[in-house]
Amino acid sequence: MVFRKPPDGGWGWVIVVVSFFTQFLCYGSPLAVGVLYLEWLDAFGEGKGKTAWVGSLANGIGLLASPVCSICVSSFGARPVAIFSGFMVAGGLMMSSFAPNIYFLYVSYGIVVGLGCGLLYTATVTITCQYFDKRRGLALGLISTGSSVGLFIYAALQRELIELYGLDGCLLIVGALSLNILACGSLMRPLESPSSPRPEKMCVDKVPDQYFVYHEKEKTIEENISILEKGYIDEKCVNNVPDCKQDIILNKNVLSSINVNEKDTYKKKVVEQTNFCKQFAKRKWQLYLTYWKETMVLFKNKVFSALFVAILLFDIGGFPPSLLMEDVARSANISEDDYYMPLISIIGIMTTVGKLILGILADFKWVNTLYLYVTTLLMTGVALFAIPFAKSYLTLAMLSGILGFLTGNWSIFPYVTTKTVGIEKLTHAYGILMFFAGLGNSLGPPIVGWFYDWTQEYNTAFYFSGFCVLLGGFLLLLAALPCWNACTNQSSKLPPNTYSYKVASN
C-alpha cells in the first residue's frame, strides 16, 4: 500500500475528532472504574485485592499486549481494527452486566475491554501519525485528552446511571454508548494514493482465472483420454477378450508412468518450498538475535535502566489512587452531603490540565525534560504519603487534583525516552517501557487492595505506594546526574540500530 505525503490538515482534522471521541468512548469506563469498584465490592463480597484485579487488568492489558496491537494495525489497517475493537469494547461491557462472579469480570471487563482499548489506542495513534507530520505533536496531544475527558465525564455518568438503573443497567447503557466507536472507526479513511496501482487486488483477480484455466485444460485432457480409452477398450473387449486384458494392463502401465513423472515434479516443489522455509526461519532467527542484542545495548545505558525501574514503580504506586480513591473516601466516613463531585472526576480533569501544561513546559529549550519528569515523580510520592492524613473531602479533593495533574507526565514521557536513547532507538525502547508500564498498572491496585485486606486500613498501602514512586524517582535522579554523562555518552556512541522494525505508525 502506497501512502501520500501527510497533508497536515484537511481530512486529518476529521481523524483527530473521531480519534478523540474514540478514546473518550473506550477509555471512559475503564479509567473511571473506581465507581464500579465500590458496587462490585458490595455485589460479590470479595476482598479488595481480588476485586481490584478487574480494573487493573482493564487498564494494563492494553499496554502489555501493545506489540500484538501494533502487528494487528500494521497487517489489517486502522479502520478495520477500530471497527472490530468497537465490538470488543461494547460486547465486553454488556457481558459484564451479566457477570455471576468476579472471575467472569476478569475475562469480560478486564481482558476483553482492556484488549479492545489497547487496539483502539494503537489504531488512533497510527492513523493520526499518518495524516500529520509537522503538526503531529498537536494532533496527538488533542486526541490524548479524550481519555482524560472521558474519565471526568464517565465518573459522574456511571454514578448517576447506577442510582437510576442499578449496576447491570449502567453497564448495558455504557456498552451501548461504546457502539458509537463503530461510526468513528468507519471515518478513519486510510491515507492511500488513488493514482497508485493496487497490486493486491490485481493479484487476487488474476490468480483465480489462471487457476481455473489450468484446471479446465487439465480436465479436458483427462476427459478426452478417458473417453478414448473407454471406447477403445469396449471395442476390443467385444471382439477379443485376451486383447482387452492386454490393453488394460498397457493402459495401467502408461498411467503409472505419468503418475511417476507427476510425483517427481511434486517432490521437487516440496524440496524447493522446504529450502525456502528453512532460509526464512534462519533470517527470522537472526532478526530475533539482533533484537535481543539491541535490547541488551539499551539496558547498558544507566539512564534507560533507571527509567525502566522508575516507570514500573511509578505505575505500581501512582495508578491505584485513580481506582481506589472513592473507596478511600468511603473508608474515611465522609458524608454524602459533603461529596460535591466524584474524586475520580477531579483526577480526570486535572490530568488533562497536567498533560497540556507539562507538554508546553517540555517545549521550552531551558527546561530539561528528564529533570522535569523526575520532579513529577518525587512530588507524586510526597502526595501519596499525604493521603493517610486526609480525613475530609476537601483535603482528599486537593490531593486528587495534585495527583491528577502529576499523572499528566505521560505527555512528556516520549520526550524523556527520546532524550535518553535517541530518536533512532525510540520505537524499540518505548515498546519495552510501555510493556513494563502495563505490568505496573496491572499489579498496583491489587497490591494496595491486599494491603488493606491484611491491615484493614489504607495507611500502610499508600505508604508503600509513596515509597515505590519515591524510590523510582531517586534512582532516575541519580542516574541523570552529570557524573553519569560519560557513561551515557559511551553508550550513545555504540553502533546504530540495525534491527528492521515494523511498527504501526508510519
The number of residues in the chain equals 506
In angstroms, the CA 95 to CA 109 distance is 8
User: Is the distance from CB of 410 to CB of 356 less than 8 angstroms?
Assistant: no
User: Is the distance from CB of 69 to CB of 126 less than 8 angstroms?
Assistant: no
For residues 290-296, give the mean pLDDT.
75
Confidence at 251, pLDDT banded by 50, 70, 90: low
What is the model's pLDDT at position 399?
A: 92
In angstroms, the CA 39 to CA 102 distance is 12
The span from the first CA to the last CA of the chain, in angstroms, equals: 12
Stretch among 21-35, 70-84, 129-143, 187-201 having the lowest mean pLDDT: 187-201
What is the model's pLDDT at position 423?
A: 63
- The string of pLDDT tens digits covering residues 494-505 is 444 433 333 333
What is the model's pLDDT at position 224?
A: 47
What is the model's pLDDT at position 262?
A: 61
- Exposed (0-12), middle (13-18) or buried (19+): which is 391, by Cβ within 10 Å? exposed
What is the model's pLDDT at position 442?
A: 83
For residue 331, what are the CA distances in angstroms to 219, 403, 420?
80, 19, 42
Q: Please check the confidence at residue 227 and state whether its pLDDT lies above 60.
A: no
Q: Cα dihedral angle (138, 19, 409, 297), rounded to 10 degrees?
A: -90
Q: Which residue has the higher pLDDT, 409 or 294?
A: 409
Q: What percent of the chain has pLDDT over 70?
A: 74
HSE (side-chain half, CA atoms, 13 Å) at 468: 23
Other C-beta atoms closer than 10 Å to the C-beta of 165 total: 13
Confidence at 197, pLDDT banded by 50, 70, 90: very low
Beta bridge partners of 192: 3
Stretch among 12-21, 64-73, 241-250, 438-447 having the lowest mean pLDDT: 241-250
User: Is the distance from CB of 464 to CB of 451 less than 8 angstroms?
Assistant: yes
Q: Where are the domains of the chain?
A: 1-191, 301-484
Fold of 301-484: Growth Hormone; Chain: A; (1.20.1250)
For residues 257-261, give the mean pLDDT.
56
For residue 138, what are the CA distances in angstroms to 133, 149, 355, 360, 474?
10, 17, 12, 11, 31
For residues 435-459, give the mean pLDDT.
84
What is the model's pLDDT at position 210?
A: 41
What is the model's pLDDT at position 199?
A: 44
In angstroms, the CA 255 to CA 472 distance is 77
C-alpha cell at 191: 491515507
What is the model's pLDDT at position 345?
A: 84
φ, ψ for residue 192 (rounded to 5)?
Answer: -110, 140
Q: Is the dihedral of CA 412, 416, 417, 423 positive or negative?
A: positive
Give me Rg for the CA atoms of the chain.
31
- Angle of the 413-421 helix axis to the 369-386 helix axis, nearest 10: 130
φ, ψ for residue 3 (rounded to 5)?
Answer: -110, 145
What is the model's pLDDT at position 272?
A: 66
Which architecture does CATH list for 1-191?
Up-down Bundle (1.20)
- Exposed (0-12), middle (13-18) or buried (19+): which is 22, by Cβ within 10 Å? buried
Q: Which H or E element spans position 83? A: helix 78-96
Domain 1-191 identical in fold to domain 301-484: yes
Stretch among 262-271, 337-346, 447-456 having the lowest mean pLDDT: 262-271
Q: Which residue has the higher pLDDT, 240 or 448?
A: 448
The label of the residue with cell 488394460 reads 248
What mean pLDDT, rounded, does the chain reach? 77
Confidence at 259, pLDDT banded by 50, 70, 90: low
Q: Please check the confidence at residue 371 and state whether its pLDDT lies above 80.
A: yes
The label of the residue with cell 446511571 reads 161
C-alpha cell at 369: 525534560
In angstroms, the CA 191 to CA 78 distance is 11
What is the model's pLDDT at position 108?
A: 93
For residues 316-328, give the mean pLDDT.
83
Q: Which residue has the higher pLDDT, 208 or 110?
A: 110
- The string of pLDDT tens digits covering residues 380-436 is 999 999 998 888 888 988 999 999 899 888 777 877 877 777 767 766 777 778 788
What is the model's pLDDT at position 180?
A: 94
